[in-house]
Amino acid sequence: MAEQKPKIILQTEGLPDQRSLKTYVEKASGYTAVRKVLGGMSREQVIEEVKQAGLRGRGGAGFLTGLKWSFVPKDITGPKYLICNNDESEPGTFKDRYICTVNPHQVVEGMIIAAYAIGANKGYIYTRWEFQEEISYLEAAIKEAYDAGFLGKNLFGSGFDFDLDHYTGAGAYICGEETGLISSLEGKKGQPKVKPPFPAVSGYLGRPTIVNNTETLANVPWIINNGAKAFRQFGTEKSPGTKLFSISGALNKPGVYEVPLGYPFASLLNIEAGGMQPGRTLKALIPGGASAPLLTPAECEGLTMDFEAMAQRNTMLGSGAVMVIDDRQSLAELLKVTIEFFAHESCGQCTPCREGTGWLNNIMDGIMDRSAKPENVERLRTVARNMGGKTICALSDACAMPVMSYVQKFSGELQAYLAAGSGGHSK
Amino acid sequence: MSVFSESLKAKIESFLTRYETRRSAILPVLHAIQDEHGWVSETQVEELHHKYGLDRVQVKEVITFYDIYKDHPVRKYQIRYCKNLTCHMLGAQDAICKIKEHIKALDAQLGEDGPFSLEEFPCLGKCDGAPVMLVNKERIEHATVDKIDSILSKYAPLPK
C-alpha cells in the first residue's frame, strides 16, 4: 500500500536505523543533492529550480519557497541566516515531529542547499521544548553531519561554509510565527515584529533571514536530485508535490501520512487513517489545524487535500493538520477548547487580539455554564469579526476564523447546548 | 560561593559564547538551570545578572512569557497534560479529573511534599497518541483515565 504512493520526504520510513546518516546516504541518495549544488550550480540556478517546482511553504501559509528565497538582497555584505521553523505549534499538527523521527538528515541537507541559495553561512533549527525526544534526534543528525564533513567549513571542497545549530523553545504557540520565532531566538519574549521589513531583508539581529518550515526544507534535496518537472508529476497544478498530513481523532490509525497534494479526503480518512472507530460517524472536520474554519460533512463530499480546494470552501489547508470530529463530540466544548487556547497564547502586543480572545473566552465561559443569554452566541461572531486583519501577526485571525465558522455552521448546536445541554458530551 | 554547581556553571559559560549575542543564551541557560533545579529562583536570576551579564529584566521577561519556565518551586514530578482538541475528544478531561483526585489524596497524606503537580497544558504536539501527557520530560501516550493509576504508580506510591 505504502509503496504505491510517492515518497519525497519519508524516504527512509520503516527502514532499519531509519534516521541514521548511513541509511539516508545508502537508501535515499542522501547528500547527493548538496554535492550537485555545490559542485557547480549557481545560487540563481538553485532558486530557479525550486521556483519551477512550485514548492509552497508547508508550515501553513503556502507561500512559494523559491520566491521567498529570492527576496534576500544579493549584494549585501555581512551575515545572513537560515532558520528551520520546527516549532510546529498549531494544534493538530505533528508531521514535522515525525520527519525528525524518520528522516532528520533530509532536513539538514535541505538546509545546506537553502543556505547556499540565499548566501547564509549560519543556520538554526528551532524546535518546541515539548519535542524532547525529537530534539535528541536532530542533535544526533547534526553531529553525524559534522563528523562526516557535511557541515562546517569548505563543504565538499566548494569553499562554501555552513554551520548549523539547534535551539530549543520554551512553550509558546506564537514562536511558530516567523518573526515571533526570530524574537525568541534573540533571547526575547516571542513577540512578532511589524512587517515590513520582512525577515528576508531584516530578520534575526536585523540581518537578512529566511525562515522555512521543516517539511518545506526536506523537499529541497529531492527537487534538486530529480528536477522540478519530476516534482510536478505529483500534486496539482497550483499545489505540486506531496504533503504530510497529520490526521487525528477517534480513528483506527491516526498518524502522519505522505500523499500527493490533491489526494481525496475520503481516501485519507478511510484508507490511510483506517476509517473512524466503530460506531462513530463524521460530525465536522477541521482540515488544517485549530485556526482553520471547520467543515460540515456535506462540505467534505468530494473534498481534495490541496490549497485550492480548501480556499474554495473558505477554509485552509494550513499545516496539514486534519482533525476529525465524530458524532460523540460536543462542538460547544471544542469551541471552548479552541478559544481558550488562543486566549492563552495571545502574546498581548495588539489590543484586538489580547482583548478579543479574552472577551471570546468570557462569552464562552457563560455558554459553558449556561449563564449566557442566547444572543451571546451571535456575539461571539461580532467580536470575532472585529479581530481580523487588525494586528501585527495572524494569531488574532487564527482565533477569529474558526469561531465564525462554528457560529455560522453550528449555531443550532451551540444554542441547544446553552438551553439544555443537549449538544452532546464528549466521552 | 556560586549558587550554581560546577557543571551548571560550565554549561552557562558555554551558552554565553555559543550564539551571536549573549542575550540569545537566555533561553538555553534557563533550560539548563531548570534541568538541574526544576525552577529558577530570584537568587539565580541575580547571579545571572551580576556574574554572567544577563540583564535581570530581560531574564525575568523570558521566564514569565514562556510556559515552560517556573519562578516558584516545583514538585518532583511535573505532569503536563494536553487539553487541546484531539486530546479533549479522546478523553483528556476525565483523565485530568482523575489526576487531580490522585494529587488531592496524596497531598492529604503528605502535605506540601506530595510528589506530583499538574498543569493542564495548551498542546503537546502528539495528537496521534492522544490523549497525551508529559511527566517531566517523559511523554506518555494514550493516557486515558483507566490508565492513570498505573502510570502514576510508576513514579510514586498511590495514595492509601
CA-to-CA distance for B139 and B88, rounded, in angstroms?
Answer: 17
Do A23 and A130 lie in one domain? The reply is: yes
Domain ranges for chain B: 6-65, 77-153
B73 has a chain A CB within 8 A of its CB: no
CB pairs under 8 A between A and B: 137
The boundaries of the domain holding residue A197 are 2-231
Q: Does A204 have pLDDT greater than 90?
A: yes
From the list B30, B66, B86, the residue facing A92 with the nearest CB is B86
pLDDT of residue A4: 58
B128/A255 touch (CB, cutoff 8 Å), yes or no:
yes
Q: Which of B82, B85, B87, B114 is nearest to B101 (CA)?
A: B114
A251-288 pLDDT per residue, tens = 999 999 999 999 999 999 999 999 999 999 999 999 99
Contacts A282 to B, Cβ<8 Å: none
Q: How confident is the model at residue A427 (pLDDT cuts 50, 70, 90)?
A: very low
Cell numbers at A131, concatenated: 519535542
CA-to-CA distance for A367 and A381, rounded, in angstroms?
Answer: 14
Q: How confident is the model at residue B61 (pLDDT cuts 50, 70, 90)?
A: very high
> For residue A253, what are the CA distances in angstroms to A169, A275, A284, B21, B92?
30, 7, 18, 45, 19
Query: In sequence order, what are the residues at sequence separation of 6 or more whose Cβ sits closer than 8 angstroms to the Cβ of residue A212?
Result: A57, A59, A65, A68, A82, A83, A84, A85, A114
Cell numbers at A347, concatenated: 502574546
Do A17 and A133 lie in one domain? The reply is: yes
Cell numbers at A371, concatenated: 449563564
Q: How confident is the model at residue A38 (pLDDT cuts 50, 70, 90)?
A: very high
**Out of A1-15, A136-150, A316-330, A403-417, which region has the weakest mean confidence (pLDDT)?**
A1-15
From the list B18, B83, B130, the residue facing A248 with the nearest CB is B130
A77-125 pLDDT per residue, tens = 999 999 999 999 999 999 999 999 999 999 999 999 999 999 999 999 9
CA-to-CA distance for A156 and A138, rounded, in angstroms?
Answer: 22
Q: What fold, for B77-153?
A: Glutaredoxin (3.40.30)
Give alpha helix (H) positions in chain B.
6-18, 26-37, 42-52, 56-65, 85-89, 92-110, 148-153
Residue A107 inside a domain? The answer is: yes
A146-201 pLDDT per residue, tens = 999 999 999 999 999 999 999 999 999 999 999 999 999 999 999 999 999 999 99
A250/B123 touch (CB, cutoff 8 Å), yes or no:
no
Q: Is the dihedral of CA B61, A351, A318, A122 positive or negative?
A: negative
CA-to-CA distance for A259 and B39, rounded, in angstroms?
Answer: 43
Q: Higher pLDDT residue, A73 or A425?
A: A73
B25/A334 touch (CB, cutoff 8 Å), yes or no:
no
Residue A422 burial (CB count, 10 A): 12
B128/A254 touch (CB, cutoff 8 Å), yes or no:
yes
From the list A205, A321, A427, the residue facing B20 with the nearest CB is A205
Contacts A172 to B, Cβ<8 Å: 65-67
Residue A425 inside a domain? The answer is: no
Q: For position A400, which CATH number holds?
A: 1.20.1440.230
Find which of B15, B86, B121, B141 to mutate to test the A interface (most A CBs within 10 Å of its CB): B86
Q: How confident is the model at residue A421 (pLDDT cuts 50, 70, 90)?
A: low
From the list B61, B88, B91, the residue facing A337 with the nearest CB is B88
Domain boundary at A282, A305, A324, which?
A: A324
- Strand duo A255-260 + A242-249: pairing: antiparallel
Residue A312 inside a domain? The answer is: yes
Residue A237 inside a domain? The answer is: no
pLDDT of residue A74: 87
Do A306 and A357 lie in one domain? The reply is: no
A426/B84 touch (CB, cutoff 8 Å), yes or no:
no
Do A181 and A266 lie in one domain? The reply is: no
Do A303 and A337 lie in one domain? The reply is: no
pLDDT of residue A96: 97
Domain boundary at A201, A231, A261, which?
A: A231
From the list A246, A250, A347, the residue facing B128 with the nearest CB is A246
The amino acid occupying position A399 is C
Q: For position A163, which CATH number holds?
A: 3.40.50.11540
B139/A333 touch (CB, cutoff 8 Å), yes or no:
no
Q: Where are the beta strands (DSSP E) in A92-206?
A: 122-127, 163-168
The whole-number average pLDDT for the span B102-109 is 91
Closest B-chain CA to A329: B89
> For residue B76, what are the CA distances in angstroms to A203, B114, B115, B155?
40, 8, 5, 9
Do A204 and A83 lie in one domain? The reply is: yes
Do A227 and A246 lie in one domain? The reply is: no
Cell numbers at A289, concatenated: 489545524
The whole-number average pLDDT for the span A201-225 is 98
Q: Look-up: residue for cell 480518512?
A: A269
pTM of the model: 0.96
Contacts A205 to B, Cβ<8 Å: 20-21
Q: Does B1 have pLDDT greater than 90?
A: no
A89/B26 touch (CB, cutoff 8 Å), yes or no:
no
Domain boundary at A177, A209, A231, which?
A: A231
ipTM confidence: 0.96
User: How many folded domains does chain A comprise?
Assistant: 3
Residue A216 inside a domain? The answer is: yes
The whole-number average pLDDT for the span A301-314 is 96
- Mean per-residue pLDDT over chain A, rounded: 95
Asked if A384 contacts A405 with a C-beta cutoff of 8 angstroms, the reply is no
Give alpha helix (H) positions in A204-320.
214-231, 265-267, 297-300, 307-312
Q: For position A273, which CATH number holds?
A: 3.10.20.600
